[in-house]
Chains A and B, each alone.
Chain A
Amino acid sequence: MELRVGDKVIEVERARLRKWFELEDIRENLRMAAERGDTLLVSELVCAYLSAASSEGKETFEEAPWWDSVTAYIRLCNLNSPRKEFPIFSDTVSRREEDKQSWEYKGRSWFMWVHLLASSYGWSLGEISELEIEDGIALIQEIMVQKQLDKEWEWGLTEIAYPYDPGTKKSAFKPLQRPGWMVTTKKVKPMKMRKDLLPMGVIENLSGVGLHGQLTH
């Protein structure tokens, strides 16, 4: 892909897995800086993202007209975004500082992924770094699914999967909890109500949405 920034035309290629991690880290820092309204840090991070994605110096983007830098940023974000929707990203909740483990550190996620992929497939750090973004994410998801299913199998073979209920005086199977992204969401069936239970009289619609989905105010 070609980017026009100031007087320069820069050729960029789509990032591989290692680079993608680095770019996502910058985007996350940019999101947090934007939430705080830190304009100086946001501008630095936009230029850092562009520099990391294109291997061009930061000064090129710092000195260019702002709309060239911003347009390049938007285009590169689109280029380096995963092209599929992976369920593993659907239920992400930021952990609070107090819940983080003592072995956590900034940048740990990359090494966790490398560890999982290397353990499963015997690949080197170099090979893993050069994976396509979608390949890396898909394989990580498969590894996490397999680990969860293995845990559920082992869980089912233990006594603690069948807790005793004093109320019923029986043991019942209690399945192992799954992470949010592995939980199948069931469609809610529309509930039929008896006519005599429906509200009567003049009904004022305060929701702002009409019968046919149009906005009423």
Chain B
Amino acid sequence: MDSLRIRDALELHKIISPYLPTPVDEDVLALETIHQIINSMKENNQRAYVDAVLLMSKMSIDELQKLESLDILTLFIDGLGENQIVFLDSFCKKIGMNYG
């Protein structure tokens, strides 16, 4: 999976930020953070989960629909890890990002 450019990374943060644990603990293993995000998304907005995977994988919706749910989950987890979601969140907070 290729790393995102800054425009897409900020778009990813916009999608993911409502589901990030507060505060995001940089000392906690990244995998635990990702599990918390997934659980929060499942409970509140599954569409955001699909949008995030599409953004990170650069696949079309048709290509994504052909995959098994476990493969999609792997793409999501790999994508968040590859794109350093904790660092991204830290930067967005530092510049005062506010989605209203």
Contact = CB atoms under 8 A, between A and B. Distances in A.
Contacts, number: 68
Most buried by B among A36, A39, A43, A64: A39
Most buried by A among B8, B95, B99: B95
B100 interface: yes
Nearest to B97: A34
Given A66-B83, A66-B88, A35 B4 contact: no
Interface residues of B, number: 23
Given A39-B11, A43-B10, A64 B97 contact: no
Interface of A: 30-31, 34-37, 39-40, 42-44, 46-47, 61-67, 69-70, 74
A35 B8 CA distance: 18
Interface of B: 3-11, 13-14, 83-84, 87-88, 91-92, 95-100
Ranked nearest first, the 6 interchain pairs of A and B with the lowest CB-CB distance are: A66-B9, A39-B10, A37-B99, A65-B3, A43-B7, A66-B6
A70 B86 CA distance: 13
Most buried by B among A30, A61, A70, A74: A70
Contact of B96 (A31, A61, A63): A31
Nearest to A61: B6
10 contacts: A35-B96, A39-B10, A40-B10, A40-B11, A42-B95, A43-B6, A43-B7, A63-B5, A66-B83, A70-B9
